[in-house]
Amino acid sequence: MNGPKLGYKLFNKRRDGTIGPLFINRRQRIPLEIWIQAEDHPTKGYAHRPGWHVLEAPHAPHLSKKGRVWMRVFVMGYEEFTRPSSQGGQWLLASHMRVIDNLPTLEDG
């Protein structure tokens, strides 16, 4: 298993302050500072790419930032997945992720 490697992930931020995935398994609450294993949730209308989708930089121009927050994460057991720069460029699809903290002052872009 490779890692750990630093990356960035955009999460939904709920009114109660918790964070969760943007699209797949949206009701999941993601804990901070704990290694969590990716689950496989095939979802109609989405490509089947199991694993945590993490970027090497906090840049995802194809996604709205409203109600969302960038978080620094560490990943392990990842493979690199090349996407167009309009979709953030290099993705890391990881089997394990640990959310560290948010990026309150870092601008997307």
- In this predicted model, what pLDDT tens digit does every residue of 41-68 receive, in sequence order? 999 998 899 899 999 999 999 999 999 9
Q: Write out the E strands in 17-67.
A: 19-20, 36-37, 52-55
Question: For residues 79 and 93, is the Cβ–Cβ distance under 8 A?
Answer: yes
pLDDT surpasses 80 at 106: no
Residue 80 has pLDDT above 60, yes or no: yes
In this structure, is residue 63 part of a structural domain?
Answer: yes
Quote the number of domains for the chain: 1
Q: Is residue 59 part of a domain?
A: yes
Letter for the amino acid at 54?
V
Residue 107 lies in a domain: no
